[in-house]
Amino acid sequence: MTNKLPSVELVIEVPFYDLDPMNVVWHGNYIKYFELVRCQLLDEIDYGYLKMKDSGYMWPIVDIQLKYINSASFGQILICTATLVEYENRIKIKYTINCKNTGQRLTKGYSIQVAVDMNTKELQLVSPSILHKKLKKFI
């Protein structure tokens, strides 16, 4: 066991269609970048959205925070990092987006997801055992 919660990186080259009229990345696209790296993190622990559904739980996002620090622009190479920081009662993932070339921090934030039983629609006050099982190789 490594006793370290998983973290992944995703490289994104900013596409033209992600820009706003000021020629910087439109603010809502940073949430999309968070989603892309979050999916990679969930796949890393073998509990992506389809496996969540198959396990009988949906995991809606109930909170997301984002702090804009600097703007990204067309063609810029971004390093998007997602790190699992909580899992016992909810999934909390922290994010950073940095410029690959300069290392400059562009954005940071977090998301919180909670388990909901798909049959009863009941919120689970602790994370289901399936999540703990998936994380055994990390903790």
Is 97:14 a contact under the CB 8 Å cutoff? no
Task: Show the beta-strand stretches assigned E in 1-139.
Answer: 7-13, 57-58, 61-68, 77-86, 91-99, 105-113, 116-117
Separation CA 37–CA 17 (nearest Å): 19
Q: What is the pTM of this model?
A: 0.95
Is 44:105 a contact under the CB 8 Å cutoff? no
The model's confidence at residue 1, banded by pLDDT at 50, 70 and 90, is very low
Q: In the Cβ-directed half-sphere of 79, how many Cα atoms lie within 13 Å?
A: 11
Domains in the chain (CATH in brackets) are 7-133 (3.10.129.10)
Give the tens place of pLDDT for each residue, 67-121. 999 999 999 999 999 999 999 999 999 999 999 999 999 999 999 999 999 999 9
